[in-house]
Structure 1
Amino acid sequence: MARPSPERAPSASEQLEALLGKRWPFPGRPPKHDLSTWRVTDDWPDPVPVTLAEVEVFERWFGDLFDEFFSSPL
């Protein structure tokens, strides 16, 4: 006997439409800035300067992860 397939959960857009009672995205004027025409450039120095305080923050928050990641396998 075939099982009925579970219903697909509504997408975020479908949930928003149901909540607002309007179509999403809203019809109307297009956005002021067309992001498809933007260009990303990297103007950071090489190497990127890092302060001792920034290093300490990363070591405090991610120290266990770094130890596990960079430790040699037993």
Structure 2
Amino acid sequence: MSKTRAHSSPKRRGRARTGALPKDLYAYAEARPLPRIGRPPKHSPETWTVTDDWPDPLPVTEAEIDLFEAWFGDLFDELFGPST
């Protein structure tokens, strides 16, 4: 085995360098997004409008009510009190 190969042990390859950690580990939340590459969108989301076209009152079937009571009954009892 050559000398250069003997000195490069597989344990040391690929290890991260140690050093001082940044003071604020949450600084990534303040980072600005990278500029968009490519064609700009045709419609800007700032100009979009959201409309509610659901009927009033919203129709709900008995089967849907039974399903929600089966899965979320304990939570509903905790929030609204036990059913009578």
TM-score range, shorter chain: 0.5 to 0.7
- Structure with the higher fraction of residues in helix conformation: 1
CA deviation digits over 1:9-33, x for unaligned, max 9?
3527x6xxxxxxxx83433321233
Aligned residue identity for 1:34: S
The normalised TM-score by structure 2 is: 0.53
Letter of the 2:54 partner, please give it: W
Q: Summarize deviations over 1:4-58 as a string: whole Å, max 9, x none.
A: x84323527x6xxxxxxxx834333212331111111111111100011211121
TM-score by length of 1: 0.58
More contact order relative to length (CA 8 Å, sep ≥ 6)? 1
Give the unaligned 5+ runs of structure 1.
15-22
Larger radius of gyration: 2
Q: What displacement does 1:69 show? A: 1.0
Determine the C-alpha separation between the residues in 1 that align with 2:27 and 2:67: 40
**SS of corresponding position for 2:71:** helix
1:58-73 counterparts in 2 under 5 A?
58-71=68-81
**Moved segments of 4+, more than 3 Å:** none
Alpha-carbon RMSD across the aligned residues, in angstroms, is 2.9
Question: Identical aligned pairs, as a percentage?
Answer: 58
Structure 2 gaps of 5+ residues are 1-21
1:57 matched to 2:67? The reply is yes
Q: Higher mean Cα deviation, 63-72 or 27-36?
A: 27-36
